[in-house]
Amino acid sequence: MSGGVDSSVAAALLARRGWDVTGVFLCMGSAVEGADRACCSPEDAADARRVANGLGIDLHVLNLGEDFGEIIDYFVAEYTAGRTPNPCIHCNMRLKFGRLADLATDLGIGHLATGHHARIAQRDGRAAIARAADLRKDQSYALFGVRPEVLPRMVLPIGEIGAKDQVRKLARAMGLDVHDKPDSQEICFVADNDYMQLLAERSPQALRGGRIVDTGGEVLGRHDGYGQFTIGQRRGLGVAAGVPMYVVAIDPASGDVTLGTREEASGTWLRAGAVAWHHRPGAESFEATVQIRYNHRGCGARVHVLDDGAFEAELFEPVHAITPGQAAVLYDGEAVLGGGWIEAAS
C-alpha cells in the first residue's frame, strides 16, 4: 500500500470480497537524501495509514533502504555505461514481488496483491501475467522479472477494471479520500526528478563532456555529459542539422554521442540477456510479440533462443529507438512469456 489510489482500491476491493487483508508500506529508508517526494514520503505514509485504518486492516512498514540502495547503484551504473536503466522493473523483481513475497511467507500469508495494472490469467493450466483491461495503463511489461514461483500467489484486482477514471470512481464510491490523488510520474528515489544531480554526486564520469557527431563522423557540436542522453532522443540535443536528428549511439569510452535520422534510429534486430521465463516455448525458434519499452505496444518478431540463454529477435517491421538497458518482453497474445535486458540492437 503506497498511499496511492490504485493500491488503496486494490486493498478495499479485496477486503469487500472477503479476503483477510494485511497492508504493507514499503519504505526506502535513507537510501538517498532529499527524495522527500519519494515512494515513502511522509504524505504517502500518512495516506496509506489512513486508508488502512478506514478499512480496518493492519499496516506493516517494511524498511528496504539497503535494497533500494542497490537499485540506485544499478541506475547510476547503467547511465555511466551509456545505457538507459529501468529501475521500476528491478523494484518489482527485487522488492514488490521479491522481499515483499518473502515477508508474506514469513507471516504465513498465501497471496500477494498490488495495485498494478495487469491481470493474472491461466496459460496451459498455470498462472500467467497478462495485459490489463485498460491497455493505456498496462504495466505487464514491468512484471516480466517476477519469480515464476510467485506467479500463482499474485492477485491483481486493478488490472480487471477498465479506464483509470473507473478506478477513481470506485475509490470515491468507497469513501477513499485518495480518489483524486495524482499519479506519481517521477522516479521515486530521485529528488525533484533531477537524475542529473544524482549522477553528478555518484558518477561524475557520466557527465563528462564530449563530441556530438553524425553517423558519418562529422562533428556537429559538443555536449556536457553523455549521461543526459538516451537512444531515440530528439529534444535537447543542442545542435541544428536542418533535419530532425535522433540519438543513435552513446559511447561512454570516448564520450561521443552520435545522431542520425529517424530511419537510422530504428532497427529490426535485438539481442537480450539475463532472460527470465514465465512460460518458455518448447521450440528454440518461435514467433512472439516483442515490447521494447513501457509505452511501446509491441511488434511481431521471430525469436531465437541462444545456447547462452540469451535470445535474439528479428522484428517484422522497423521499431524506433531500441534502447540498450531497457527490457524486451515477449508476449503470446496478451500473456507474458518472459523477457530479458536489451544488450545490442540494429
Question: CB neighbours (10 Å) of residue 12?
Answer: 22
Looking at the structure, do residues 76 and 168 belong to the same domain, yes or no?
A: yes
Q: Please say if 188 is a catalytic residue.
A: yes
Q: Identify the burial level of 149 via C-beta atoms within 10 angstroms of its C-beta, where 0-12 means exposed, 13-18 middle and 19 or more buried.
A: exposed
- Asked whether residue 198 is domain-assigned, the answer is no
Residue 249, domain member (yes or no)? yes
pLDDT in tens, 296-316: 999 999 999 999 999 999 999
Q: What is the pLDDT of residues 137-190, one digit of tens each?
A: 999 999 999 999 999 999 999 999 988 899 999 999 999 999 999 887 668 888
What is the spatial distance between Cα 9 and Cα 55, in angstroms, rounded to a whole number?
10
Residue in 27, 40, 188, 299 annotated catalytic: 188
pLDDT recorded at residue 296: 95
Owning domain of residue 86 = 5-192
Helix axis angle, 42-55 to 5-16, nearest 10°? 10
| pLDDT recorded at residue 30 | 53
Question: Which domain CATH number covers 225?
Answer: 2.30.30.280
Query: Is residue 96 domain-shared with residue 178, that is, in the same domain?
Result: yes
Q: Is 91 an active-site residue?
A: yes
CA nearest neighbour of 59 among 101, 2, 19: 2
User: What tens digit of pLDDT does each residue of 16-73 get?
Assistant: 999 999 999 998 765 555 444 455 678 899 999 999 999 999 999 998 888 989 999 9
Please give the backbone phi and psi of residue 73, each rounded to the nearest 5 degrees, phi first.
Answer: -60, -45
The CATH number for 287's domain is 2.40.30.10
Same-domain check for residues 126 and 21? yes
> Rounded to an integer, what distance in angstroms lies between the CA atom of residue 89 and that of residue 97?
10
What global pTM score does this model have?
A: 0.94
Q: What's the pLDDT score for residue 35?
A: 47
- The confidence score (pLDDT) of residue 256 equals 97
Choosing from 27, 39, 40, 91, which is the catalytic residue?
91
User: How many structural domains comprise the chain?
Assistant: 3
